[in-house]
Amino acid sequence: MKSGRHFLDLNALDSESLRSILTQASVFKESTRAQDVSLLEGRVLALVFERPSTRTRISFQVAMLQLGGQAVVLSLEDSQLGRGESMADTARVLSRYVDVIVIRAMKHKTLLELAEYAEVPVINGLTDLSHPCQLM
């Protein structure tokens, strides 16, 4: 990873980092109330789903829209992941086009591999081991 930080597991955060994330979330929330929808203007979020999602997809997609950004949703059917492309290749390609990646993976090792090769921050949207965004 060359820029930003990954959010893979809640246990990996120290109390200062957790407070910082929650403080920033409050700033984002207030800006949507104030109709300032330009905080993430020009930013793109990739939502990569190996398994179906309702709440995770909607919450991230709506948040990006409310803050002026855009979200692109990719399922196994929409990408080469289901056709044999390596996670390393997928990570490199996505990193060229998006600013952050959320992945909802069947296996935690898939998340870790994506994070290893991505040059943008990766967020754990759910794996077989953890769902840190839901805990937040």
Number of domains in the chain: 1
User: How confident is the model over 92-129, as pLDDT tens digits?
Assistant: 999 999 999 999 999 999 999 999 999 999 999 999 88
Give the structural domain span for 125: 10-18+36-135
Q: For residue range 3-23, what is the model confidence (pLDDT) as tens digits?
A: 468 989 888 788 898 898 889
Let me know if residue 126 belongs to a domain. yes
User: Is 3 among the domain residues?
Assistant: no
Residue 123's beta-bridge partner residues?
Answer: 7, 102
Within-domain flag for 1: no
Tokens of 29: 């929330």
Question: Would you list the DSSP string of 5-70?
Answer: --B--GGG--HHHHHHHHHHHHHHHHHHHTT-TTTTTT-EEEEEESS--SHHHHHHHHHHHHTT-E
Domain for residue 26, yes or no? Answer: no
Residue tagged 């803050």 (tokens) = 67
Between CA 49 and CA 78 the distance in angstroms is: 10
> One-letter amino acid identity for 97?
Y
Angle between helices 87-97 and 108-117 (to 10 degrees): 50
How much is the pTM? 0.86
Identify the CATH number of the domain in which residue 98 sits.
3.40.50.1370
Task: Quote the CA–CA distance of 107 and 71 in Å, as a whole number.
Answer: 23
CA contacts within 13 A on the Cβ side of 121: 13
Q: Report pLDDT for 89.
A: 92
Residue 24 in any domain: the answer is no
Candidate from 20-29, 31-40, 52-61, 68-77 with smallest mean pLDDT = 31-40
pLDDT band with cut points at 50, 70 and 90 for residue 1? very low
